[in-house]
Amino acid sequence: MDEMNGIAYQNGGSILLEKVRETVQYIEKQTTIRPKIGIVLGSGLGGFVDQIEDQVVIPYEDIPHFPISTAPGHRGRLVLGRVADREVLCMQGRFHYYEGYSMQEVTYPVRVMQRFGVQSLILTNAAGGLDPQFVPGDLMVIRDHINFLGTNPLIGPNEASFGERFIDMSKPYALDLIETAKRAAKEEQVDLKEGVYVSYSGPSFETAAEIKMFQLLGGSAVGMSTVPEVIVANHSGVRVLAISCITNLGTGILDQPLSGEEVMVVAAEAGEKFQGLLKCILQMMPEENNE
Ligand code: HPA
């Protein structure tokens, strides 16, 4: 057996592919529904699962080959069911690079969702605002990103059945889903911002100098997740919509220290607005994504 960057190969077949198959089979045994929409709920945003009807709940620790959530505010469960008449597969809690997981582990659930049949993925996160116009509690749809993690989940042997070696990233966030999010925001009377998300490994928050650099680079918000998932989704043709909840302004923009607790509290306070928007987006998502 050879191992390279977390992807092991045996007898010419990928062990990653085999693991994904086993994970998918396990999930398929728990429910008859086959959602085409996946949702990842970020820090403090897990309350959205209350909107899901006919829930089938699967704790991550029961799922073969699934990592375990260690981040505060991440429950660590898959919740499948219906919202606004749409079938959804919802991850209540995700995996971050700062937890010590490899990039392959961080993005493993995206591989699983894709093989399970998910075609559109809605990613959510808590983020720090870089745009000084933003206020805590604002929601921002991500138009583009800057990968500042210094690594990439596609490094290593390419599994051709997932996607190509070199993938286009000119439109990593589906333009029609961004438009849908904007229409839903209008309907819900939410002042939805739009911008560029910068990924930073954490778990320390940024310094004031780093925040200044990210502003100069053209970033609108900074956070510790999402970008690896977006890259892997794009690798295998899963369409992405991503929304940040701005829980604070970046270090040094206001003269106050940051804490993880503040992030959680503000995200939870924005919860009602966030849940209303997400539900409306699901209602408005084009039918071809849901058949
Ligand atoms: N920086 C990075 N990640 C974050 C922040 C921040 O200010 N707020 C919430 N997640």
Predicted confidence band of residue 1 (pLDDT cuts 50, 70, 90): very low
| Cα separation, 186 vs 194, whole angstroms | 13
Considering the chain, what is the average pLDDT of its residues? 92
Closest atom of ligand 1 to CA, residue 223: 3
What span, in angstroms and rounded, lies between the C-alpha atoms of 205 and 130? 13
- Percent of the chain exceeding pLDDT 90 equals 81
**Residue 126: predicted pLDDT:** 95
d(CA 154, CA 151): 9
pLDDT band for position 267 (50/70/90)?
confident
> In whole angstroms, what is the distance from residue 41 CA to residue 45 CA?
6
Q: Strand pairing of 239-249 and 53-59?
A: unpaired
Assess whether the previous peptide bond of 153 is cis (omega < 30° from 0): no
Mutation to probe ligand 1, out of 249, 258, 265 (largest number of atoms < 8 A from CB): 258
- Mean pLDDT confidence for 211-228: 98
Short-list 120, 93, 125, CA closest to 225: 125
User: For residue range 63-119, what is the model confidence (pLDDT) as tens digits?
Assistant: 999 998 787 776 899 999 999 899 999 999 999 999 999 999 999 999 999 999 999
> In the prediction, which pLDDT does 291 show?
46
Is residue 4 predicted with pLDDT exceeding 80?
A: no
Residue nearest to atom 2 of ligand 1 (CA): 223
Classified as helix, coil or strand, 147 is strand
Nearest CA to ligand 1 atom 5: 128
- Phi then psi for residue 203, to 5 deg, are -80, -10
Task: Give distance in angstroms: CA of 64 to centre of ligand 1.
Answer: 31
**Amino acid 9: pLDDT:** 55
